[in-house]
Chains A and B, each alone.
Chain A
Amino acid sequence: MSLISRRPRPPAAAAEPQERATFKSPVLPWLFLLPTFIILAVFLYYPAVRTLRLSLYRANIILGNETFEGLGQFAELLSSPVYHQVILQTLIYCALVVMLGLLLAMGLAWLASRPIAGAKFYRLMLIYPYALSPAIAGTIWLFLFNPEIGVINNVLSSLIGVRPRWLDNPLLAFGLVVLAAIWKGLGYNVVFYLAAIQNIPGEVSEAAAIDGATGWQAYWKVIFPLLSPMTFFLVFTNLIYALFDSFGLVDILTRGGPVYGQTGITTFLIYQLYEDGFRNFKTGVAAAEAVLMLIMVGVITVMQFRYGNRRVHYGA
């Protein structure tokens, strides 16, 4: 592996003197940062602080009332079996979407980057789902998987004589949403992996080929590690995607259903938040859920940087 680590990334501390040298006045960098800070403050920090405050109050946005509850709403959420199930299924969903999605994207990007006829066409087609809005993607899937008149079941029924109940069998519905989310995110991941693959110097693969590595070996032993910085980045963006962007797809495709155990099996944290906050107008509870999600993302991020970073190989 030492062969490929030609340009080790300098540690953060080493970069500091150089930066100081660029800005003579300590005010100047802050001045440049100011516009960003203003935007962050207005659109991110202020609403976040308000959300934090709201999470301590019983509030209904339509009634406009606020009663201080302290941490009562958090306690209620964290002791609710419904919320437990929602957390559990969100974690499983996220893990599946991130892992399967990235593996698939990496493989497809690798194949599409091979010098084959029509590679450009394949690349374009792979990126295409990303251009669809979640609502449209959801509608397409809903049509495809209509148990009576959907294309999928028409084909399945004429081939093997089955008509699976895609949207009310809990396992199938869960799998379907996972699949749809992976498909929807595929384009984004493929673009980044394609870029990363194209940045891998050709000599590396050549060297592997000369050393007698098979295509499979070259992929797993050379390309896969070289892609790890990109994977590190994508794991994070995909996690955010799975946690927050699942809303549109779920709302159109399953509306959080079908019910299994305590609640709908595709009711993920963000959908539960939407239901509570925007369908049932329980604004305080929704704020508490938002805070819990923020904490979750924070914990995952810290964990990822602490443990995930060790496996990242900044070689290329």
Chain B
Amino acid sequence: MKRLMLMLALGSGLQTAAAQTTIEFWHSFGDAKRGDWIKARADEYNKAHPGVTVVPSYKGAYNDSLQATILAARQNKAPALVQIFEVGSQLALDSGMFQPVSSVKGVDFGDYIKPVINYYTINGKVNSLPFNSSSPVLYYNKDLMTKAGLSAATPPTTFGGVLRACAKIKVALPDTKCMSLALYGWFVEQWMSEQNALLFNNSNGRAGRATATTLNGAAGKKIFQFFKDLQDKGYLTNTGKLADTDGTNAIFSNQRAVFTINSTADLGNQIAAAKTAGFQLGVSVLPIPDGTARNGVVIGGASLWIPKNLSKPQAEAALDFALYMTNTKNMADWHKLTGYYPVRNTSITALRGQGWFTSSPLQITAFNQLLATKSNPASAGALNGVAIQTRTLMEQGLQKVTGGQGVDAVLSDTANQINAALTDYNKNFK
């Protein structure tokens, strides 16, 4: 009943304006769990709004769907709503094919969790509506920790803590690796934010176009050194393929490693896998460099964009559906299903009211980590046109370091490569 009221309330203002409007919604969730959830929300919405037909469709991975949208937009066949990943934000902005959601119609964004809405607020305008948002956490195998003589109640929260735990694990469990950690650029972005360090100049590309990376500094060095320490002491494992978190998950789920770091969006799968394998799963905050005040995480995931050149009713209906899909109740459901953050403060209140955090205590860690995040350019995340390439370059840098090369030389090389890519991209605007 409550849901119906909400739907009516949301829909009433648009019912007349959006007569017979079709909303194509392109997303990147090819799996049944998340794809079906979106489909179900669209069906509900369509039933409540006879004048609007929302048609969600899976358009391939983030990269492919971004490209498809741009090409469609050039032929005036753009979908009315598109899910675009966070590292594609600057590209989407530079394409000039989208309009800020805040200019479609007046929306109160006050309910959105601050660090989430900050990422998508560019030049003072909310460009896209937050949807699936996540950050990395430490997953740990409680049984193996106990076996190694560690307290499962106090997992390590710093790099030093991880290394000390690993030292004990190596002695107690010689056949088990300590840390299953993918060489993944996203983690580097997170650790820069945690140290309140920028990844790019010009306030992470938010005060002006980024022209150089600031990876090659004390903060970046600590991150790369952590990977090197883990590797040199024989604590680290992964599949060897860059950014292969599926691989590190599998190693962790098969109890070949005590710790892994991965997205909160993976929580649902991790819980299921631990149950199958028969071990107690723990979730804790992302460990950070020692002696650092925890600045918080950068939001990862994707947001919903509305192209330009739509008719007014179409743009409004698209935003209206997006707001419906991300309303208080739906975001709470979405969180329970997947582990992604509900992007609204009221969703968290609702979840707390339902006793969700007492019945699923593992989920609370992720929230506290996000809610404690301080709002500043570092935690707002880096905006630049080569964010995708930057990740790959950082991953290759991590691989060089774990392959035995020195941290300083690799960092400086990696920074040069990123700068070259950035200079090349910025040439597009001369």
Which A positions have Cβ atoms within 8 angstroms of B? 58, 60-65, 67, 142, 146-149, 165-169, 173, 253-255, 257-259, 263-264, 275, 278-282
**Residue in A67, A142, A165, A278 whose CB lies within 8 Å of B63:** A278
Is B400 an interface residue when CB atoms closer than 8 A count as contact? yes
Q: How many A-B residue pairs have CB under 8 A?
A: 94
Q: Count the B residues whose beta carbon is within 8 Å of the partner chain — how many?
A: 41
**Residue in A147, A166, A253, A258 whose CB lies within 8 Å of B237:** A147
Closest-by-CB residue of A relative to B90 is A62
- Beyond A147-B240, A278-B64, A280-B389: 13 further Cβ-contacts under 8 Å? A62-B67, A63-B94, A64-B95, A67-B428, A146-B251, A148-B177, A148-B254, A255-B241, A257-B396, A257-B399, A258-B403, A280-B421, A281-B67
CB distance from B59 to the nearest CB of A (A): 14
Cα distance A263–B393 in the bound complex, in angstroms: 10
Cα distance A64–B243 in the bound complex, in angstroms: 29
- Point out the residues of chain B lying under 8 angstroms from A64, CB to CB: 70, 74, 95
Cα distance A232–B254 in the bound complex, in angstroms: 48
B254 touches A259 (CB 8 A): no
Is B209 an interface residue when CB atoms closer than 8 A count as contact? no
Closest-by-CB residue of A relative to B425 is A60
Known: A147-B237, A255-B241, A257-B242. A168 touches B91 (CB 8 A): no
* B249-262 Cβ-contact flags toward A at 8 Å (1 or 0): 01100101100000
CB distance from A5 to the nearest CB of B (A): 51
Cα distance A167–B403 in the bound complex, in angstroms: 12
A167 touches B240 (CB 8 A): yes
Is B268 an interface residue when CB atoms closer than 8 A count as contact? no
Cα distance A58–B427 in the bound complex, in angstroms: 9
- In order of increasing CB-CB distance, the 8 nearest A-B pairs are A168-B240, A167-B240, A148-B256, A259-B396, A148-B251, A149-B254, A280-B389, A62-B91
24 contacts between A and B (CB under 8 A): A61-B71, A63-B91, A63-B94, A64-B74, A65-B428, A146-B239, A146-B247, A147-B240, A148-B237, A149-B250, A149-B256, A165-B240, A168-B240, A253-B241, A257-B240, A257-B241, A257-B399, A258-B242, A259-B396, A259-B403, A264-B396, A278-B67, A279-B388, A280-B389
Q: What secondary structure prevails in chain B residues at the interface with A? A: helix
A142 touches B239 (CB 8 A): yes
Known: A62-B91, A146-B251, A280-B389. A259 touches B399 (CB 8 A): yes
Closest-by-CB residue of A relative to B95 is A62
Cα distance A280–B390 in the bound complex, in angstroms: 10
* B220-254 Cβ-contact flags toward A at 8 Å (1 or 0): 00000000000000000101111110010011001
**Residue in B95, B239, B241, B242 whose CB lies within 8 Å of A63:** B95
- Point out the residues of chain A lying under 8 angstroms from B96, CB to CB: 63
Closest-by-CB residue of B relative to A143 is B250
Known: A148-B254, A149-B254, A279-B63. A167 touches B239 (CB 8 A): yes
* B372-406 Cβ-contact flags toward A at 8 Å (1 or 0): 00000000000000101100100010011011000
Cα distance A63–B386 in the bound complex, in angstroms: 13
- Point out the residues of chain A lying under 8 angstroms from B244, CB to CB: 255
- Point out the residues of chain A lying under 8 angstroms from B95, CB to CB: 62-64
Interface residues of B in 29-83 (CB under 8 A from A): 63-64, 66-67, 70-71, 74
**Residue in B67, B177, B250, B399 whose CB lies within 8 Å of A61:** B67
CB distance from A186 to the nearest CB of B (A): 24
Cα distance A65–B97 in the bound complex, in angstroms: 13
A142 touches B241 (CB 8 A): yes
Cα distance A255–B254 in the bound complex, in angstroms: 24
Cα distance A123–B392 in the bound complex, in angstroms: 42
**Residue in A165, A168, A255, A279 whose CB lies within 8 Å of B389:** A279
Closest-by-CB residue of A relative to B66 is A62
Cα distance A147–B402 in the bound complex, in angstroms: 16
CB distance from B67 to the nearest CB of A (A): 6
Cα distance A63–B240 in the bound complex, in angstroms: 34
A280 touches B67 (CB 8 A): no
- Point out the residues of chain B lying under 8 angstroms from A142, CB to CB: 239, 241, 247
Known: A58-B427, A63-B428. A255 touches B242 (CB 8 A): yes
Residue from the set A167, A253, A257 with the largest chain B CB neighbour count within 10 Å: A257
- Point out the residues of chain B lying under 8 angstroms from A280, CB to CB: 386, 388-389, 421
B250 touches A146 (CB 8 A): yes
- Point out the residues of chain A lying under 8 angstroms from B92, CB to CB: 62
CB distance from B367 to the nearest CB of A (A): 31
Cα distance A74–B215 in the bound complex, in angstroms: 30
Cα distance A278–B424 in the bound complex, in angstroms: 16
Closest-by-CB residue of B relative to A172 is B240
**Residue in B241, B256, B400 whose CB lies within 8 Å of A254:** B241
- Point out the residues of chain B lying under 8 angstroms from A167, CB to CB: 239-241
CB distance from B180 to the nearest CB of A (A): 8
Cα distance A108–B240 in the bound complex, in angstroms: 33
B251 touches A149 (CB 8 A): yes
Cα distance A37–B206 in the bound complex, in angstroms: 52
**Residue in A60, A147, A173 whose CB lies within 8 Å of B428:** A60
Cα distance A157–B95 in the bound complex, in angstroms: 52
Cα distance A168–B237 in the bound complex, in angstroms: 11
Cα distance A253–B95 in the bound complex, in angstroms: 32
Cα distance A60–B96 in the bound complex, in angstroms: 13
CB distance from B79 to the nearest CB of A (A): 16
Closest-by-CB residue of A relative to B400 is A259
- Point out the residues of chain A lying under 8 angstroms from B399, CB to CB: 168, 257-259
- Point out the residues of chain B lying under 8 angstroms from A166, CB to CB: 240
